[in-house]
A = this chain, B = another copy of it.
Amino acid sequence: MSGRVLLTGATGFVGRHAVGPLLARGFEVHAATRGTAATPADGVRWHAGVDLLDPGAGAALVRRVAPTHLLHFAWFVEHGAFWQSPENLRWVGASLDLLRAFAESGGRRAVISGTCAEYEWGGGECDERLTPERPATLYGASKLALTRMADAYGRVAGVSFATGRLFLLYGPHETPRRLVPSVVRALLDGEEARCTHGRQLRDFLHVADAADAFVALLASDVEGPVNIASGAPVRLRDVVTTIAEEIGRPDLVRLGAVTPPAGDPDALTANVARLRDEVGWRPRVELRQGLADTIRWWADAQSGAARGVA
């Protein structure tokens, strides 16, 4: 037994993929969600209907679970809105409450979900030790504030602490309006996929790999910020083209039809030396295979929806 882990955001995009790897590493899993519990599984105890924004909810949950480990994914993630929403302020406060309760109940190791938006963008490859931490958004500022405070608090309270910084993800259960799902769904429906020029260089990681990397980080004693990424930059147009090839509809791709959003950097990629060499983790899902699986998942979801069972 590696310990007893409290997993927050356990039905979210990344969190739901963390349950399996946690069980595989021998953790007793306490999975918390604001919504309803997922399908029961051996070794997983669900704590449903827990809204960490309710005053005292996080502390009460920690008292019930008495976790040795904390893997904290819960946050405000509404597509588009999350970048500048004041909900970020509430999540900083709720996360600090949770961390304090965790430390005070004897917790030993905590990992929170951070973001590449904690870095200053525009310099290309983000390096945990070299890239300036100068977020351009309230979301980035909030995650950075939490990273810095958890680090300082961890030293005082004797809790080993790390932040996993996510770059671009893709895979099952992604918010439909994001790049990969929107292209996949358009092409599956026989509609045009209108995209930007697609020359932007990005790091894409399959969400199952991302969750597995978080669990590896949690099980390690590596502290501070750690990029969670593939380390294999691709251009957006190559992602779109691969999807189109897999679906067999390259004729529907319209690169250059949309203007990139203001502030969209040419390159936003990750140095993964810490993840690879210190945590000892490497990605397993190759991009083309991961995209093919994701397309199949959306095709199943859409046909399920068409049959009225999704």
- Given contact pairs A89-B153, A93-B97, A138-B149, a sample of 19 additional A-B residue pairs in the complex whose CB atoms are under 8 Å apart: A55-B55, A55-B56, A86-B100, A86-B104, A86-B156, A89-B96, A89-B97, A90-B96, A90-B97, A90-B100, A93-B94, A137-B152, A138-B156, A140-B152, A141-B152, A142-B149, A142-B152, A145-B145, A145-B146
Contact A157 B92 (CB under 8 A): no
Q: Name A148-190 residues within 8 Å CB distance of B.
A: 148-149, 151-153, 155-157
A144 in contact (CB, < 8 A): yes
Q: Say yes or no: is A84 at the interface (Cβ < 8 Å to chain B).
A: yes
Partner of A141, one of B92, B94, B141, B149: B149
Chain B contacts of A151 at CB under 8 A? 141
Complexed CA–CA distance, A65 and B94 (Å): 26
Residue A7 lies at the interface, judged by CB distance under 8 Å to chain B: no
Q: How many angstroms from the CA of A153 to the CA of B90 in the assembled complex?
A: 12
A-B contact pairs, 6 of them (CB 8 A): A55-B55, A86-B100, A86-B153, A138-B155, A141-B148, A145-B148
- CA of A141 to CA of B55 in the docked complex: distance in angstroms? 23
* A interface size (C-beta, 8 A): 32
The reply to whether the CB of A195 lies closer than 8 angstroms to some CB of chain B is no
A91-145 with Cβ < 8 A to chain B: 92-94, 96-97, 99-100, 103-104, 135, 137-138, 140-142, 144-145
A76 CB, nearest partner CB in chain B, Å: 13
Contact status A149-B145, CB under 8 Å = yes
Instruction: Determine the distance from Cα of A146 to Cα of B156 in the docked complex, in whole angstroms.
Output: 19
Minimal beta-carbon separation of A93 from chain B (angstroms) = 3
Chain B residue, CB-CB nearest to A85: B156
Q: How far is the CB of A146 from chain B (nearest CB, A)?
A: 8
> CB-CB < 8 A to A90: which residues of B?
96-97, 100
Question: Are A96 and B92 interface neighbours, CB within 8 A?
Answer: yes
- The answer to whether A89 touches B149 (Cβ under 8 A) is yes
Distance to closest chain B CB from A188 (angstroms)? 36
